[in-house]
Amino acid sequence: MIIITVRLLRAELIDFSIKEETSEINIWFTDGKDEHKLAICRKIANSEELAEQMITEIRKIVKNSHTPESNGYDEILAIKFENEDDAVKKLQKFFERVKDKIREVRLIKSSQGYLDTLTRAKKLELEF
C-alpha cells in the first residue's frame, strides 16, 4: 500500500459575482512532491458540503497524478490529509467568510466605501 499525505497550503478568493453569488477560489495543496492548485467557481450555498466536495476533488487530483497506467494499482493507493478534520473545518469557515463578504458587498447601498469593501473582499485568503 502506498500512502500519500496531502497538506493544504492556502485558499484564496480570486473574484466573485454579486448577481450570481458565485465565487472564484483557488485552493493550493501539496502531495509531498509537487504543489497543486484547485481552481473552482461555485455558488456557496452550504459551506460544509462544499468543503467536503473540495476534499474529495483534491483526493481525485492526487490519485490521478500518482496512478500509473497499469490496472489494479489504484486499489493500493491511499490518500490521507494532514489534520483532515481541521482542514475541513478551516475550509468551511473560509467559505462562510466568502459568503459573508459577498452578502456584505451586496447590501451596501451607498457608493461611499463600496470600492474599499470590494477590494478587501477580494483579498480574502486563508493559510493552513
90 pLDDT above the threshold of 90: yes
**Using 50, 70 and 90 to split pLDDT, how confident is the model at 75?**
low
Q: Which pLDDT tens digit goes with each residue over 97-125?
A: 999 988 888 888 777 777 777 777 788 89
pTM of the model as a whole: 0.85
Per DSSP bridges, beta strands 22-30 and 125-127 are unpaired
56 pLDDT above the threshold of 60: yes
User: Residue written as cell 469557515?
Assistant: 93
How confident is the prediction for the chain on average, in pLDDT? Answer: 88
Cα–Cα dist 66/69, whole Å: 10
**Confidence at residue 30, expressed as pLDDT on a 0 to 100 scale:** 96
- In terms of Cα–Cα distance, which of 53, 39, 42, 56 is closest to 92? 53
